[in-house]
Amino acid sequence: MDPVLIGRWQFGITTVYHFWMVPLTLGLGMLVAILQTLYHRTGDEVYLRSTKFFGKLFLINFIMGVATGLVQEFQFGMAWSEYSRFVGDVFGAPLAMEALLAFFLESTFLGLWIFGWGRLPRGVHLASLWCAVIGSWISAYFIIVANSWMQHPVGVEMVDGRPVMTDVWAVLSNNTAIAAYTHTLFGAVAVGASFLLGISWYHLYRRRKDGIDTIAADGELVVGSAPDLPGRDKLDHRVWIRSLRIGAVVGIVAFAGVAITGDVQAKLMFEQQPMKMASAEGACHDGTGFSVLTVGDPSSNDCDGVENVFEIPGLLSFLAKGDFSTPVHGVTTLLPEYQERYGTHLPDDPRYGEHAGEKIDYQPIMIVTYWGFRFMIGFGMIAAGVCAIGLWLTRRGTVPDSKWLMRGALLSITTPFIANSAGWVFTEMGRQPFVVAPNPAQLDGVYMFTQAALSPEVTPAMLLFSLISLTAVYGALMIVELRLLTGYVRGGVASAMPELARVNHTPKITGDDDVLSFAY
Amino acid sequence: METLATIWFVLIIVLWMGYLFLDGFDLGVGMLMPLFSRDERQKRVLLNSIGPVWDGNEVWLVTAAGATFAAFPHWYASLFSALYVPLTLCLLALIFRAVAIEYRGKGHTPAWRSFWTWAMALGSLGIAFFVGALLAITSTGLPLNEYGDMVGGAFAWIGWPALLGGLGGVGFALVHGLLYLGLKTEGPMRAKARRWALRAMLPASVPFLIWFWLAGLTRFWLLAVVAVSVVFLTASVRAVRAGAEKRAFTFHVIYLVTGLSAVFAAVYPVILPSTLNPAHSLTVTSASSSEYTLGVMFVVTVIFLPIIIGYQIFSYRMFLGRLRETHIPEAHRLPVAIRS
């Protein structure tokens, strides 16, 4: 078996999995911090309840992000040691900065937040959560700086065959990184927003189905309470409708941010990695049209077999260059340019293992880039559409009494996740055959083919061992996490605030005997 | 260049020491989960004693690895790819330990709790073993070829250093966890931690002591450092006997710091020896990043490490005080799903 392929599968699986936890941490963390800030400022118990409820879900997810993040940091050295040696001078720095500036902040203050209810002064407790959330946002910045350097290397010069950092500010302010960072953050906020919307919808629906909330003959909503169900009082209704509407508004704003930053990023990428964008567009030949549907067999990577059935004239030029007429180069134009600049065959060097001397295929797998790009945009639009529809349908203060709509709302939680994953798969696989893509403007020699990046003495058996064991453990933990999340979601606010299950509860944040003070 | 690289070598060893000093007791408490505690309430005392701080402690490991990548890419690449199999196991252990701490209390059947208790114990054991082994191996070396890659297959790292370091790591963490519990608990658990520590301390420290001693033999002045280390270990034992828990814990840390200093001073300027040919060994200069990168990272570290230490101390101060079983509230049961 080809060790490069196994190594890539492992990196792909572990990274996509890790990036299911991460956007929820980034997005939901911010929303929980906003909810707690609202509680701090208004004293309204609605926000205390939503903070505790969504905070609990946030923590269940957060720990999985931490656990799977360690794998990310270790596997560069374990499986991709040649890559680590080649890029270490510039790539290691943002990773170390991430740990120093972000991870310590995030984990120390999250510990303070979890255990600090009623123990820390309220302002300090709230600030702890903000520190943790800001820490997670800083960590996203540094890891995207590292990734963007692989997409578009800057700030280095070649010394003895390796890029050496000469300008750390150029690396940190890489325009690719700024565009990708803002794009990723808005995408993460969209994930958190859909999460709020879907789960709140579910509870509002349950309240209607259980006959707690009813619609009177004049169309007015009558909010009731069910004393026998823990936490199902009148306030409970406000918790969900408020969370739902916050989620919907934030989701729409986030989508606008995603679209704007995505446009900036796409324009950069047309310049920096033209082949990636050409194959994302199914653009075999130069032209201006944006493909809405391409048939034939894009998977063959054979331009003769690909036909654009329907395209919007001018749109591609607009996306790439900002006008409707400049033709965008297609694959057939770009291929000879790449071959001329970076060679037609891999060097006949033992470091390339069995791939030495192979012909280089500069065109990424078109079916992945083409559909990855469209899934990203399509599912992002669905997520935003659900938010808009959700705002309209809940204008009377609750959700329609429809099981299918409730199911749709819950299912829509997955859409921004899919958009996020599709976007990353597109941009990472679109970078192939390079692990470090060349910067077309400068920096001759600063690029690396993926085939040269693997650890030379690591065997396919070792790679398979880690691939299989990590995938199996990840799969099992996914089931555990989803079951825990489902259990806590079903229980409603009372699952995070057991005092609501007691008769005649008084809302309070207490000291020593509070459950969250001894969270475990 | 050499000065900066040496500073970075020292910093990375300090990060590893910080990791063992801090997460060491989390790992010890984790290993103690199934056997030390009599009942569920005591298990939860153990869990909550490290609850607010363990995640921050683990970041010392992340930082040690990240700083190694940044400052010594060749060290990071050679060591991590050579230890492919043990590090895979270590990662699995890290995953289970982390998830166990967070998820154990979120389910309510005895099977669920016992599964995560054991996941935490075995996870902690695995981490302590493999981190100890990694540190010992990086001081004694690996069969590296001229490219810095380990030859001889997936298991060529196995040998007495791996065993010594691994067992030493487990022993250190176990004792460190007991000393921490002595500081952090009240009542019968505190007394029990002291009894167990007294019994475990000397035998559990033997592997590390052998490792330190062998390093000390290389140079006369290092022998003096190792002697200091031994003195502090004995002083720590005596402090436990006298019931001076703070002193015992502090001395145990000094024992570790002096011992590891001797070990890594003995190999310097080599940072990863090749057992095949000394010419293939990685040294502080041959494995390091450029002076510019080392300088940038040094400035970042000098600014942020004190801040980090500052807020970690703040975090520890917030959770100062001993836990007793009566502090632990009733297990919080998830309400039955709200459905009609």
pLDDT digits (tens, 9 = 90+) for B145-196: 999 999 999 999 999 999 999 999 999 999 999 999 999 999 899 999 999 9
| Residues paired with B150 in a beta bridge | B144
For chain B, what is the domain count?
Answer: 1
Q: Scanning the structure block, which residue is given the tokens 């986030």?
A: A254
Which of the pair, A10 or B318, is modelled with greater confidence?
A10
Q: What is the DSSP letter of B271?
A: E
Q: Which of B48, B69, B293 sits opposite A76 (nearest CB)?
A: B69
**Contact by Cβ (8 Å): A326, A270:** no
User: What are the residue ranges in chain A where pLDDT is below 70?
Assistant: 288, 293-309, 443, 502-519
Interval B97-121 mean pLDDT? 94
- Round the average pLDDT of chain B to a whole number and report it: 93
Would you state the pLDDT for residue A293? 65
As a residue count, chain B comes to 340
Would you state the pLDDT for residue B333? 62
What is the distance between the alpha carbons of residues A378 and A381, in angstroms, rounded to a whole number?
A: 5
Would you state the pLDDT for residue A331? 86
CB atoms within 10 A of CB A404: 8
Distance of alpha carbon A212 from the chain centroid? 37
**Contact by Cβ (8 Å): A68, A17:** yes
Share of chain B above pLDDT 90, in %: 86
Would you state the pLDDT for residue A504? 52
Would you state the pLDDT for residue B340? 38
* Chain B residues within an 8 Å CB radius of A199: none
What is the distance between the alpha carbons of residues B25 and B174, in angstroms, rounded to a whole number?
A: 7
CB atoms within 10 A of CB A238: 18
Helix (H, G, I), strand (E, B) or coil at B44: helix
B241 min Cα distance to partner chain A (Å): 31
* Chain A residues within an 8 Å CB radius of B148: 85
CB atoms within 10 A of CB A433: 20
**Contact by Cβ (8 Å): A438, A446:** yes
pLDDT of B24 higher than 60: yes
pLDDT digits (tens, 9 = 90+) for B205-233: 999 999 999 988 888 899 999 999 999 99
* Closest alpha carbon within chain A to B83: A78
**Amino acid at residue number A228:** D
pLDDT digits (tens, 9 = 90+) for B262-306: 999 999 999 999 999 999 999 999 999 999 999 999 999 999 999
The residues, ordered by sequence, that sit 6+ positions from B219 with a Cβ below 8 Å of its Cβ are: B265, B266
Q: Determine the structural domain holding residue B120 and report its residue range.
A: 2-339
What is the distance between the alpha carbons of residues A179 and B173, in angstroms, rounded to a whole number?
A: 44
* Closest alpha carbon within chain A to B288: A89
Helices (H), A98-233: 104-116, 122-151, 168-172, 175-209
This complex has an ipTM of 0.93
Q: Do B59 and A104 touch (CB under 8 A)?
A: yes
- Residue from B199, B204, B211, B212 nearest B174 by CA: B204
Would you state the pLDDT for residue A284? 78
pTM of the model: 0.94
CB distance from B82 to chain A under 8 Å?
Answer: yes
Helices (H), B217-318: 220-242, 245-267, 291-318
| Residues paired with A306 in a beta bridge | A296
**Contact by Cβ (8 Å): A237, A45:** no
Q: Do B59 and A165 touch (CB under 8 A)?
A: no
CB distance from B117 to chain A under 8 Å?
Answer: no
Using only C-alpha atoms, chain A has a radius of gyration, in whole angstroms, of 25
Q: Do A77 and B91 touch (CB under 8 A)?
A: no
